[in-house]
Amino acid sequence: MSTSSSTTKIVLAPPGDTDADQRGDVARALEQAVEAYKGGRIDEAITHLNRGIAIDPLAFRLRFQLGLLYGRKGQVYEAVSELETAVSVNPQHFPAVKNLAILYQKAGFRNKAVETWERALALAPDEATRLSIKDHLVRLL
């Protein structure tokens, strides 16, 4: 009876930190998007953000900024989609939740708007903001 020994080969990754490279590419995409936005080139900014999201689909800041830009362009459903993803990644980020509530309301999704405003109320950074959200909720109901 013969026994064969199996050898496991270990394949090493090429030099360099791939995660660090990807983080750098995502950061560059965000920087380029901000620069384009400041220059009034919203479509170019959107392109840069989408490039970064292709690298890291869960990049919160990119999703958040993309949602805001789509909202600015009047692309409400695209904005809602991006902000929903941003909020799912970082559910404690008040500005993302607040902007999502605004967009739900703008799109006519009253129940989702109320639900999201209630989430924003719980995350509000100060008493004045909480009172403003409560007043807004009363008008919605």
Give per-residue pLDDT as tens, 102-141: 999 999 999 999 999 999 999 999 999 999 999 999 999 8
| CA 93 to chain CA centroid, nearest Å | 10
Residue 5 has pLDDT above 50, yes or no: no
pLDDT given for residue 109 in this prediction: 96
Name the token pair of 41: 């080139």
Confirm if 51 and 29 have CB atoms less than 8 A apart.
yes
Q: Which residue has the tokens 């965000």?
A: 30
Give per-residue pLDDT as tens, 20-48: 678 899 999 999 999 999 999 999 999 99
Q: How far apart are CA 57 and CA 6, in angstroms?
A: 39
Name the token pair of 86: 């941003």
pLDDT given for residue 18 in this prediction: 59
pLDDT given for residue 54 in this prediction: 96
Give per-residue pLDDT as tens, 70-85: 999 999 999 999 999 9
Confirm if 55 and 29 have CB atoms less than 8 A apart.
yes
CB atoms within 10 A of CB 129: 15
The CATH-assigned architecture of domain 19-90 is: Alpha Horseshoe (1.25)
